[in-house]
Amino acid sequence: MNGFDLLAVIGLGWSARRGYRRGLSEELFRLLRLGLALLAGTGLYHWVAGGLAAITPLSEGLSQSIGFAGSTVGVWLLLSRLRRLLRRTVEDRVAAGWAQTGGAILATAKSLLAIVGIVATAYYGSGLPFREAIAENSWIGHAISRVLPQP
């Protein structure tokens, strides 16, 4: 267990507390936005990284990291437009008592997805200085990198 593992565990606990205060309607949107952005970023990074490598003199590891981050942020921004609609729908259909508990659960899941995103960036970025500490030497990073697609 290294510093990244400790920060990840603290972050998960803090997220659960914050999600309890925000409630289900806010956290559902945040979880969907992050999850879809990471899925799209993971699926599109090969194409974006290949395009970057073809038009710029970047190394392969750096272009892959930029491709993953760029596609993730692009999808994130597109999904931000749906916030109001999803929030109203959930608030109309969920009882107030369940909203706080559901918010805590979804906030923890969202933080776990963010940790997966950090590990994926370190795993795919072969030239990054923090790659070894996160993707290989941390317990959480090692567990997550075993299920990621090979670069």
Query: pLDDT tens digit string along 4-45?
Result: 888 899 999 999 999 999 888 888 888 887 777 777 766 666
In a domain, 125, yes or no: yes
Q: pLDDT value at position 130?
A: 82
Q: pLDDT value at position 82?
A: 78
In a domain, 59, yes or no: yes
In a domain, 151, yes or no: no
- What residue numbers bound the domain in which 32 lies? 3-145
Q: pLDDT value at position 93?
A: 82
With beta carbons less than 8 A apart as the criterion, state whether 24 and 106 touch.
yes
In a domain, 129, yes or no: yes
pTM attached to this predicted model? 0.63
Q: pLDDT value at position 18?
A: 92
Gap between the terminal Cα atoms of the chain: 25
Q: pLDDT value at position 67?
A: 72
- Please give the structure tokens belonging to residue 53: 């490598």
In a domain, 150, yes or no: no
Count of CA atoms in the C-beta half-sphere (13 A) of 125:
23
Number of domains in the chain: 1
Task: Encode pLDDT of 83-136 as tens digits.
Answer: 777 788 888 887 777 888 888 998 999 899 889 888 888 888 777 788 888 888
